[in-house]
Structure 1
Amino acid sequence: MSIREFAAHLGVHERLVSKWEAGGVRVHPRPINQAALDTSLARSDDVVRARFAALIEQQSTDRTAAPGADTRPASGTHANYSSEADLLALIDAGAMRGDALAAISERDLIMAAAHEASDHAGRAESTNVGATTLDQLDADVMRIANDYVSIPPVPMMVEMLRVRRRVYRLLEGHQRPADTSHLYLLAGTLSGLLANASTDLGYYDAAGEQARAAWAYAELCGHNGLRAWTRGMHALIEYWSERPRRAVLLAQSGQEFAESATAKVRLHNIEARIWSKIGSASDTERCVRAADDAREIGEVDDLHDAIGGVFGFNDAKAQYYAGATYIHLGLAEPALAATGRAIDLYANGPSEQRSYGAESLARVDCAAAHLINGSLDGASAALHPVLGLDEDKRIAQLEERLIGVRRRIAAPAFRDASEARFLDERIEEFCGSTAAKGIPPGNSPA
């Protein structure tokens, strides 16, 4: 403050403040003015009070020191601090400036800095995550991702949530940065799995929330494989939510992060499927060609290829996507060829890779292609295994696709056919008891 400002602050005349300043240590204010000064000091913040104490200490040292003597405090003495924590607090507050530094013992300062470094390093080295814990969590994610293709969604969601909650609890503790990044990757993959399960149960808003969480975790750990997969998953959610234009943008943005052949092929197939729903045959064909070219890339990644399952995109799934794409465009023959190959690959491939959901959807698309060709018998044969699925495996996409088949059955060409009426009744019965309808009220999937 200026002299005038300080006088106003205390409530005294500015000439009195000038007299105090000129008189220095010889000045002894009257008791009433000492009280005003004490009150001003008491109302000041910690930094001001610390600076005041340090200056008083320095003045005391200056007065008692012999001429030419070392005025630094002897080792072990303190200037307004009783511990290393107090000294460091004064440094944080910015109180140690100018002459006040002379009141600090060099040894105290050096030792406080050294002790702080060793304490912090010790905490940084500590971790609540061991190698065995991370190995187990990795194994859990791989098991869930691969079991999901053959086990109903609701019990798998319970397992996904159990493992992710364990990851969350670990993240609340302390671990090495590399282990924290690993935990974020696990949280992201589990959120992606939960997004997939939520779509299978028809909860697209919840699925979108899970996908956005998966993306956030992918950003935190900087994992391009998870970024690419999550963009594709989010694109599918928008596609099923009847927002195809946004879905296209998401699928395209995923290519920026796709580093393996599987990631690139999957995203191109997803984009092709969306363009076919929009009705753009040229864009669909462009994406199909791009997917064929991407298959020649030799790179793999540790999510799409090493974990696989839900994160994979094998030939059977690619054929199933192709069938759905051709159905949107109304092309019966290529749809029949693609769905036939998908069904054959699933039926005759490794049992652990047989996805009941994708195979059933391929059969529904196969039935739709038969109806486009006017074959009611072919459609009925294709749907027979689907309509016999257990209720807990009747995912939401099956119900949506079967509604489309019912519309085709209602066409004039099949109106008087008894087989058409019978098939329509069976589809209606199937849709009345799906996996999502089996979830008790109030227990919707997260």
Structure 2
Amino acid sequence: MSIREFAAHLGVHERLVSKWEAGGARVHPRPVNQAALDTSLARSDEVVRARFAELIDVTADRSASDLQAPRANSVRASYSSDAELLALVDSGAMRGDASAAISERDLIMAAAHEASEHAGRAEATNVGPTTLEQLDADVTRIANDYVHVPPVPMMVEMLRVRRRVYRLLEGRQRPADTGHLYLLAGTLSGLLANASTDLGHHDAAGEQARAAWAYAELCGHNGLRAWTRGMQALIDYQAERPRRAVLLAQHGQQYAESATAQVRLHNIEARIWSKLGSTEDTERCVRAADAARSGGVTDTLHDEIGGVFGFTEPKSHYYAGATFIHLGQAEQALAATRRAIELYASGPVEQRSYGAEALARVDNATAHLINGSLDGAAEVVGPVLELAEDKRIAQLEERLTGLRHRLAGPRFRTAAQAHALDERIEEFCGASAGREQLAAPHPG
């Protein structure tokens, strides 16, 4: 490190480090600085600290001209081990004639021994391939189980695995394994951001997502970068910050290397533009998503792990339905949401995201009301109102509230069926008020 970098590392001014190195003035590290130096230079031996302080004092008491011969004698007698010799090298005491007092063989062997010992420590690791394989399996399982298992118990699993990753990061491992652990920490933080959003805690979700982004930066994983930017865009979209959400979705595209990542981000951006009322920008993003869908590139996060990190065909139709609802395009919304419901219902149980399916049903019911079909709305939303309390995500109440506003409009105000449906929705939302009891997969 440069003097400036080293000074910043120690938390002192660079001029002070320069004075320590020069050794010509009565300026030496205080005990707290000595401890920081020892830690930074991987030295912790009491003898080293004492020797370092002693050398600084000797240097301060004598002028440079007086020290040449005496220092040579001092150096010759002041080391009895590799550690002490290398401490003298660190201290800067061996300059000029003083360096001639060192045994050439001692110096060469000390350097060689230090290299082999450091390499041995570098080889020591608290992470083996079996550990990483198990952690990878845990993350894949959690990401896929989450779409059909309530999030509260899944959050316990996420925290358990992430805490294990954190404990491993506190130890020593190979650089490649450290990067792998950062990726695991990032994916788990992303999952926790997703769960926090489902439970209606946008601030906590934002904090988890920022942690996921930091880990993505640390390990340089573009798949996690792209997914996290999409997650952050969804958080801001739901927190009524659509302009910032657009920028986040657009920023994520520079890291979207796979077709799935690109399609997901284009769909997220289209949904946000539709909420802002920009039909032109919405259609541009829809076209971009269609063009990206034909790409054959995949990535480990979106395509191999999948689950919460994937963007399947039914989810794509669900997003399209929500986008068309914002634009008031009822027929397109009906077609998209109907297709999403069909695909979720006919797909494998373990891939059936009943959170996204429930929201698609509410959007489908909304489209029916736009078209004036009260019967159609009541029929399609019925299964949603039968969901168990631990499967009612925060977004459902918001969407159902919008449905109630339409039922209260002049078109349906006097209809007995509208009153009955409104009462069922009111009862559903009342039972969902206790956020701590909510649990369900997030459609984003």
Q: What TM-score range do you get, normalising by the shorter chain?
A: 0.7 to 0.9
Given candidates 328, 331, 350, the residue that maps to 2:329 is 331
How far residue 256 of structure 1 moved from its aligned partner, in angstroms, is 0.0
How far residue 85 of structure 1 moved from its aligned partner, in angstroms, is 1.7
Q: How does 1:111-150 map to 2 (within 5 A)?
A: 111-150=109-148
2:42 maps to which residue? none
Runs of 4 or more consecutive aligned structure 1 residues displaced over 3 Å after TM superposition: 50-62
- 1:146–1:353 Cα contact (<8 Å) kept: yes
1:240 maps to which residue? 238
Q: How does 1:74-113 map to 2 (within 5 A)?
A: 78-113=76-111
How far residue 57 of structure 1 moved from its aligned partner, in angstroms, is 8.7
- 2:199–2:436 Cα contact (<8 Å) kept: no
- 1:201–1:435 Cα contact (<8 Å) kept: no
2:162 maps to which residue? 164
Could you say what secondary structure the match of 1:413 adopts? Answer: coil
Given candidates 264, 267, 272, the residue that maps to 1:266 is 264
Question: Aligned partners of 2:70, 2:215: CA distance in 1, in Å?
Answer: 58
Deviations, residues 158-183 of structure 1 (Å, cap 9, x unaligned) = 11111000000000000000000000
| Two-structure CA RMSD over aligned residues (Å) | 2.2
Given candidates 59, 78, 103, the residue that maps to 2:69 is 59
Distance 1:61-1:263 versus aligned 2 partners, 3 A rule: closer
Question: Aligned partners of 2:419, 2:168: CA distance in 1, in Å?
Answer: 56
Amino acid of the structure 2 residue aligned with 1:421: H
Using the size of structure 1 for normalisation, the TM-score is 0.83
- 1:414–1:420 Cα contact (<8 Å) kept: yes
Amino acid of the structure 1 residue aligned with 2:314: A
2:186 maps to which residue? 188
Question: Aligned partners of 1:286, 1:164: CA distance in 2, in Å?
Answer: 39
| Structure 2: 5+ residue stretches without partners | 1-25, 27-52, 439-444
Decide which structure has the larger Cα Rg and report it.
1
- 2:314–2:340 Cα contact (<8 Å) kept: yes
1:411 maps to which residue? 409
Question: Aligned partners of 1:180, 1:60: CA distance in 2, in Å?
Answer: 48
Distance 1:61-1:173 versus aligned 2 partners, 3 A rule: closer
Distance 1:87-1:57 versus aligned 2 partners, 3 A rule: farther
Question: Aligned partners of 1:52, 1:131: CA distance in 2, in Å?
Answer: 56
1:298 maps to which residue? 296
Distance 1:80-1:254 versus aligned 2 partners, 3 A rule: same
Given candidates 388, 397, 400, the residue that maps to 1:399 is 397
- 2:266–2:286 Cα contact (<8 Å) kept: yes
How far residue 435 of structure 1 moved from its aligned partner, in angstroms, is 8.0
Amino acid of the structure 1 residue aligned with 2:366: A
- 2:213–2:224 Cα contact (<8 Å) kept: yes
- 1:229–1:263 Cα contact (<8 Å) kept: yes
How far residue 81 of structure 1 moved from its aligned partner, in angstroms, is 2.1
How far residue 351 of structure 1 moved from its aligned partner, in angstroms, is 1.5
How far residue 47 of structure 1 moved from its aligned partner, in angstroms, is 2.8
How far residue 436 of structure 1 moved from its aligned partner, in angstroms, is 5.3
| Structure 1: 5+ residue stretches without partners | 1-8, 10-43, 63-71, 441-446
Q: Which moved further from structure 2: 98-107 or 428-437?
A: 428-437
Question: Aligned partners of 1:184, 1:391: CA distance in 2, in Å?
Answer: 35
Question: Aligned partners of 1:435, 1:168: CA distance in 2, in Å?
Answer: 34
Could you say what secondary structure the match of 1:95 adopts? Answer: coil
How far residue 259 of structure 1 moved from its aligned partner, in angstroms, is 0.5
1:382 maps to which residue? 380
Residue 250 of structure 2 corresponds to residue 252 of structure 1: yes
Question: Aligned partners of 1:281, 1:221: CA distance in 2, in Å?
Answer: 38
Distance 1:198-1:206 versus aligned 2 partners, 3 A rule: same
- 1:48–1:95 Cα contact (<8 Å) kept: no
Question: Aligned partners of 2:187, 2:174: CA distance in 1, in Å?
Answer: 20
Question: Aligned partners of 1:335, 1:217: CA distance in 2, in Å?
Answer: 37
Could you say what secondary structure the match of 1:255 adopts? Answer: helix
Amino acid of the structure 2 residue aligned with 1:330: G
Residue 356 of structure 2 corresponds to residue 347 of structure 1: no
How far residue 46 of structure 1 moved from its aligned partner, in angstroms, is 3.9
2:428 maps to which residue? 430
1:49 maps to which residue? 58
Deviations, residues 353-399 of structure 1 (Å, cap 9, x unaligned) = 11010000000000100111111111111110000001011000111
- 1:394–1:435 Cα contact (<8 Å) kept: no
Distance 1:85-1:377 versus aligned 2 partners, 3 A rule: same
Using the size of structure 2 for normalisation, the TM-score is 0.83
2:17 maps to which residue? none
Amino acid of the structure 2 residue aligned with 1:133: T
1:229 maps to which residue? 227
State how many pairs are aligned.
Answer: 386
Question: Aligned partners of 2:219, 2:69: CA distance in 1, in Å?
Answer: 55
Question: Aligned partners of 1:209, 1:293: CA distance in 2, in Å?
Answer: 33
- 1:58–1:102 Cα contact (<8 Å) kept: no
How far residue 58 of structure 1 moved from its aligned partner, in angstroms, is 6.2
Residue 285 of structure 2 corresponds to residue 276 of structure 1: no
How far residue 419 of structure 1 moved from its aligned partner, in angstroms, is 1.2
